[in-house]
Amino acid sequence: MNNDNKYDSWYVEQYRKLKIPVLLMLAPFINFSIVQNITLAWSGTLNNKTIREKMQKLSFLMFIMIFGFLSWLHFAYT
């Protein structure tokens, strides 16, 4: 038998000793809820009958929004 278990348990013990603030632990859940609320707001806006009819009349506006989103993605990740 080798000492791999002892080596691995050292990392487990160090992780248990690590003090992570509660807010930092909740950050992924908070980020998810923010993204979820934004998505719900946009889907509710785009599903609105009046806004949908105006968007169909001004279809170029949708292309501008898509282009803006894609350019934002390009500049955000390059």
Q: What domain range is 60 assigned to?
A: 20-76
Domain count along the chain: 1
Task: Indicate if the pLDDT at residue 74 is higher than 80.
Answer: yes
List the structure tokens of 47. Answer: 């599903």
Residue 66 lies in a domain: yes
Instruction: Give the mean pLDDT of the chain.
Output: 79
Task: Indicate if the pLDDT at residue 72 is higher than 50.
Answer: yes
Residue 52 near residue 46 (C-beta atoms within 8 A): yes
Q: Look up residue 54 and give its amino acid.
A: K
Average pLDDT for 24-35: 83
Residue 13 lies in a domain: no
15 or 7: which carries more pLDDT confidence? Answer: 15
CA dihedral (18, 23, 24, 30) positive or negative: positive
CA 59/CA 21 separation, integer angstroms: 48
Average pLDDT for 8-22: 80
